[in-house]
Structure 1
């Protein structure tokens, strides 16, 4: 399970409105009949149109300065294994999103309990994903893409009479490079913008920075970590516990749908890898043989070629450990393992 939290972008053209973001989320609805379009939902309702989302988020900005973010966006991205487990069922994903937002509310550190009833949010299911420059497959195809582009420039120069050369030979070399690129999909080289195969459902959530009463700010940003401060002589709790939220979201999926999560899929594993690699690999070595083998298969699917997972610490030399850490880290960052 991979969940990202991002504040509203404050660029040079910042206008404060949620309209640009909502319009971006409408990309999958373009060209579809109204009855086939994916609408928004919140904790109580389905089938909410985009204009209502914009109106309610934009109206809920009391006390916020002109250049402060008015909302945050969450992207909830189950792995293909998790989606397969629930049959890529959109209704189950909506049910899960509502549980995630309960966990989101509970992660705020305040003097009073924050519940999902305090949160103004709207969510939208998307069924497609496309490759970007950040994807491992695109990066590993890049050397071939560069050579192909150079050859295509030569072809155009010959066609326009600016250079001389053998067009047929150049085009044949282009075709060979297209076939030799290491990552293919349906017989074509994977490039940015190409739709990904398999289950790709994910949820976009737009959540107001202010609570439903438009009175209290609820900021989940990374700098708003849990802390206590003194205000008018009294100790006040503030902040958002991201670790608590991510763990709760993962545990909720497992409990709600009976999902058996492997160690390398867990948020705990990701934290260990980032903060204490030795403990990560010790935990990996300590898995029962069947779970260790399942971990190897998950890593392999994520593009990390691990012929065998070492069976003892002596086999895991420092250099090998750091190389494996680098590969696993990239897979975790891209969500390939689904964390």
Structure 2
């Protein structure tokens, strides 16, 4: 499970409306028949219009300043293994999101009780993802694409008589570069904009910064997990416990989907990797044989080469740790929950 929380922000300033973001989330439905479209949903309704979403979020901004974000974006991206566990079923995903938003509300530390009914949110399921320019596969293929573009340009020049050359030899060079490119999908070189294969279903959730009654603010990006300050002479609770939310989000999915989560997929594994690598590696090699096999299979699916690992966790040497560190770090980042610090 990979979950990110972001404030509403466009460039260096905040926009006054959620409209642009809602329009962006409609992109997959363009040209589809009504019955094939994914609609916005909230805690109790499966079919919310985009106009309703814009009206409700834009109208729930009392006393917010011009440069205050008006809403937050939560993106929930189950792994392909997790999606397989629910048969990539949107109904199961909607059920999970509604339970997840209870965890979200419960993670606030406020004087007034925050429940899911305190939260104004709208969610939308998307089924596709495309490779973007900053991703490793695109970046590492870039030199090959650049050379291929140059060769194609040379072919055009040869055909116009501007330079001398052998078109067939140039075409063979292009074929060789295609073969040598490190990242392909279905036999084609991966480039920015190419649709990713396999299950790519994920959920975008738009959450108003104000509570449902438009009276107080709820920020999941608060710097504090749980603290109290004196405001107007009264003690006031504030904060959002992201650790609590992320850990609950996993347990909720596992409960809703009947999912058996491997250690390498957990938020605690990612936290250990970032903050206590020694504990992470010891936990990894100390797993029961079946769970360890699954963990390393998941790591190999990222393209990582796994060296021989001692069975006894006390035998883990620094040399092995260093050889694992780079690859496991990439794998954990791709399969875990984003740590929002």
Q: Is the pair's TM-score, using the shorter chain for normalization, greater than 0.5?
A: yes
CA 112–309 in structure 1, closer or farther in 2 if over 3 Å, else same: farther
Q: Does the 8 A contact of 1:40 with 1:122 survive in 2?
A: yes
Work out the CA distance in 2 between the residues paired with 1:308 and 1:290. 16
Q: Does the 8 A contact of 2:226 with 2:237 survive in 1?
A: yes
Residue aligning to 1:206: 206
Residue aligning to 1:249: 249
Report the CA distance between 1:32 and its aligned residue: 1.3
Q: Is it true that 1:294 corresponds to 2:303 in the alignment? A: no
Secondary structure, in 3 states, of the residue corresponding to 1:125?
strand
Residue aligning to 1:141: 141
User: Over aligned residues, Cα RMSD in angstroms?
Assistant: 2.0
Residue aligning to 2:279: 279
Q: Is it true that 1:326 corresponds to 2:326 in the alignment? A: yes
Report the CA distance between 1:63 and its aligned residue: 1.1
Secondary structure, in 3 states, of the residue corresponding to 2:122?
strand
Paired residue total: 338
CA 41–155 in structure 1, closer or farther in 2 if over 3 Å, else same: same
Secondary structure, in 3 states, of the residue corresponding to 2:23?
helix
How high is the TM-score relative to the length of structure 1?
0.93
Residue aligning to 1:194: 194
Secondary structure, in 3 states, of the residue corresponding to 1:329?
helix
Secondary structure, in 3 states, of the residue corresponding to 1:61?
coil
Secondary structure, in 3 states, of the residue corresponding to 1:291?
helix
Work out the CA distance in 2 between the residues paired with 1:111 and 1:193. 46
Report the CA distance between 1:95 and its aligned residue: 0.3
Work out the CA distance in 2 between the residues paired with 1:13 and 1:72. 15
Residue aligning to 1:228: 228
Report the CA distance between 1:172 and its aligned residue: 1.5
Work out the CA distance in 2 between the residues paired with 1:140 and 1:309. 29
Report the CA distance between 1:196 and its aligned residue: 1.2
Report the CA distance between 1:157 and its aligned residue: 4.1
Work out the CA distance in 2 between the residues paired with 1:206 and 1:107. 17
Residue aligning to 1:177: 177
Work out the CA distance in 2 between the residues paired with 1:259 and 1:42. 24
Secondary structure, in 3 states, of the residue corresponding to 2:26?
helix
Secondary structure, in 3 states, of the residue corresponding to 1:178?
helix
CA 127–46 in structure 1, closer or farther in 2 if over 3 Å, else same: same
Matches within 5 A, 1:112-123: 112-123=112-123
Report the CA distance between 1:243 and its aligned residue: 0.7
Could you tell which deviates more after superposition, 184-193 or 66-75?
A: 184-193
Give structure 1 stretches of 5+ with no counterpart. none
Work out the CA distance in 2 between the residues paired with 1:154 and 1:338. 47
CA 242–171 in structure 1, closer or farther in 2 if over 3 Å, else same: same
Q: Is it true that 1:109 corresponds to 2:101 in the alignment? A: no
Residue aligning to 1:305: 305
Could you tell which deviates more after superposition, 290-299 or 174-183?
A: 174-183
Residue aligning to 1:30: 30
Work out the CA distance in 1 between the residues paired with 2:10 and 2:172. 47
Report the CA distance between 1:36 and its aligned residue: 2.1
Residue aligning to 2:259: 259
Residue aligning to 2:72: 72
Secondary structure, in 3 states, of the residue corresponding to 1:254?
helix
Work out the CA distance in 1 between the residues paired with 2:19 and 2:178. 40
- 1:293-335 Cα shifts (integer Å, max 9, x gaps): 11110000022211433324565332431342222222333x3
Work out the CA distance in 2 between the residues paired with 1:275 and 1:12. 32
Secondary structure, in 3 states, of the residue corresponding to 2:205?
strand
Report the CA distance between 1:181 and its aligned residue: 2.0
Residue aligning to 1:46: 46
Give structure 2 stretches of 5+ with no counterpart. none
CA 112–12 in structure 1, closer or farther in 2 if over 3 Å, else same: closer
